[in-house]
Structures are given as structure tokens and as C-alpha cells.
A and B are shown apart, each in its own frame.
Chain A
Amino acid sequence: EVQLVESGGGLIQPGGSLRLSCADSGSTVSNNYLIWVRQAPGKGLEWVSLLYTGNNNAHYIDSVKGRFTISRDASTNTFYLQMNSLRVEDTAIYYCTRDRGGWAALVGDWGQGTLVTVSS
């Protein structure tokens, strides 16, 4: 069974840092697209970042460039989102998602999400 499990969310003051983790117990291939998507309270979905493990290429939405970093630990099959200089507008549920068999089904598998609240 495919399972992505996020952790690391919580309440943080503006300007602070958090690292989100996503433990991936379901991937059976060596190269994947690993993605973070967020959803502000009562709002729609917003793509945040993507990492292709085949060549370590990473992409970010403009609003998080220079503040967030996506990475992966292959030894533990866990990927991360390091979030620095957090802003109130970063408050959201953060979902990790992964492709199922390539770019076509880019967001095939999802975690349950972890809530990040940025507030003083």
C-alpha cells in the first residue's frame, strides 16, 4: 500500500523556520517526482515545490524562492521541505505528493497533510 506520511508542522512565529518531512513507504522505482502542495485555510490548492530525484533538479513557486528548500534522503526514503523566513501567508496545510509512474500521473499519491501556522 502506498503511504506518504508528513510530519513537522506546528505553530511558528513570523521569521522562524520549520522543516517538514514526508516519509515515503510506497515508492518502488528509483526516480520520482516529489512535490509539495499547500492549502491555506478554506482556500484552494497551490503548488509549492518539486524535486526530480533522477537529477536533483528542483523548482519552486516564486513566493517561496530563496526561503524554502526541497530535498530528499534516499537512505530513508524521506523528503523534506525546509522553510525559512516564514510569513503569515505561508499558513496552510502542506501535502506531500509523488508521481505514480512518471510525469503524466505527477500527483498520483498523497499524504494526509501537516498544518503549518505562522502567527505571532
Chain B
Amino acid sequence: DIVMTQTPLSSPVTLGQPASISCRSSQSLVHSNGNTYLNWLQQRPGQPPRLLIYRVSYRFSGVPDRFSGSGAGTDFTLKISRVEAEDVGIYYCMQATQFPLTFGPGTKVDIK
């Protein structure tokens, strides 16, 4: 199974400042078809998860452009350019390159 790790696990941030979350996979996430299936999800308190970024860097429908994803192979990053109050929650990376699909442990983002 592909193990996903995230750092940090907790990230207190100042409103208006940037935030960054790293995700690492135990194996390359490059699929045999050449695509890399790394997603980022946001889960606000008391809400279901929501897809933010798919295939490393593509913003999903309705996602603000302050969210961006980057990376390749086994190392990936989610960046929030300027944190807003509504960004509080837990962020998960998820790989869909190989079964079983696996998630990172989550990174809790809150306001200082």
C-alpha cells in the first residue's frame, strides 16, 4: 500500500498570511499512463470533505485561486497564498494512482 505522510500536522496561521502543507508518498504517484493522481481535500469543521486540487495542480470547480498545488513523483505541496477565516479546517492529501486509495493523516489549519 502507498503510505501518505503530511507535514506539519498542525499549522496555526495569521489571517492574510500564506500557508503551506507538504505531502509525501512512499512510492511514486506517476501512473502507468503518465498522469499523477494526487488530490488535496479540505474538511471544514462539521462538514464533509471537499475536493480542492486534483492531479497535483488543477483547481476543482469553485475553488478560489488562492489555493495552489505543486509537486511531482513523491513530494507535493498545497499552498494558500493568503489565509482567510473560512480556510480553517483539516487538509488531506489523497492518492488515486494505485489501489487501495489512501489518504494522508491530515493537517489542521487554524488561526493564531
Name A84-120 residues within 8 Å CB distance of B: 95, 97, 100, 103-108, 110-113
What are the residues of chain B within 8 A of A113 when measuring CB–CB? 48
Task: Give the nearest-CB partner of B39 in chain A.
Answer: A107
Can you list, as one digit per residue, whether each of A36-52 has a CB less than 8 Å from chain B (1) or not (0)?
01000000111100100
Q: B interface, how many residues as a size bin?
A: 20 to 34
Which DSSP category, helix, strand, loop or mixed, fits chain A's interface? Answer: mixed
- Other-chain contact of A103, B90, B96, B102 (Cβ < 8 Å): B96
* Sample (26) of A-B pairs whose CB atoms are under 8 Å apart: A35-B101, A44-B90, A44-B104, A45-B43, A45-B49, A45-B106, A47-B100, A47-B102, A47-B103, A50-B99, A50-B101, A59-B100, A62-B100, A95-B49, A97-B49, A100-B61, A103-B37, A103-B96, A104-B35, A105-B54, A106-B39, A106-B101, A107-B49, A110-B51, A111-B48, A112-B48
A45-B94, A47-B103, A103-B37 known; A108-B51 Cβ under 8 A = yes
Bound-complex Cα distance A110 to B101 (A): 16
In the assembled complex, the CB of A19 is this many whole angstroms from the nearest CB of chain B, namely: 20
B106 touches A44 (CB 8 A): yes
What are the residues of chain B within 8 A of A11 when measuring CB–CB? none
What are the residues of chain B within 8 A of A46 when measuring CB–CB? 103
Task: Give 3 nearest A-B pairs by CB, closest first.
Answer: A47-B101, A110-B48, A45-B103
What are the residues of chain B within 8 A of A105 when measuring CB–CB? 51, 54, 60
A104 touches B51 (CB 8 A): no
What are the residues of chain A within 8 A of B92 when measuring CB–CB? 44-45
Name B38-67 residues within 8 Å CB distance of A: 39, 41, 43, 48-51, 54-55, 58, 60-61
- Other-chain contact of A108, B60, B104, B106 (Cβ < 8 Å): B60
Task: Give the nearest-CB partner of B43 in chain A.
Answer: A45
**Which of B39, B43, B48, B100 is the most central at the interface, judged by chain A CB atoms within 10 Å of its CB?**
B48
